[in-house]
């Protein structure tokens, strides 16, 4: 019982991650994300 729940949750997470990755690759330029992240790191550092 617990095993099947665990695999179901894992599947949901994988599906969510996949669709998030697809959404990001379709709607956002990865380079701008990296630049934004580097800027944020510089601000925090």
| Cα angle: 1, vertex 4, 8; to 5 degrees | 140
Q: What is the DSSP letter of 1?
A: -
| pTM greater than 0.85 (yes/no) | no
Judged against a pLDDT cut of 90, whether residue 1 lies above it is answered with no
- Give the domain ranges of the chain: 2-44
Which token pair is 31? Answer: 């380079």
Map residue 29 onto helix, strand or coil: coil
Instruction: List, for residues 2-45, the tens digit of each pLDDT value.
Output: 778 899 999 998 998 888 888 877 777 778 888 888 998 988 86
């Amino acid at each position: 019982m617990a095993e099947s729940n665990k695999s179901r949750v894992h599947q949901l997470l994988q599906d969510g991650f996949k669709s998030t990755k697809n959404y990001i690759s379709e709607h956002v330029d990865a380079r701008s994300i990296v630049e934004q992240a580097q800027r944020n790191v510089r601000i925090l550092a």
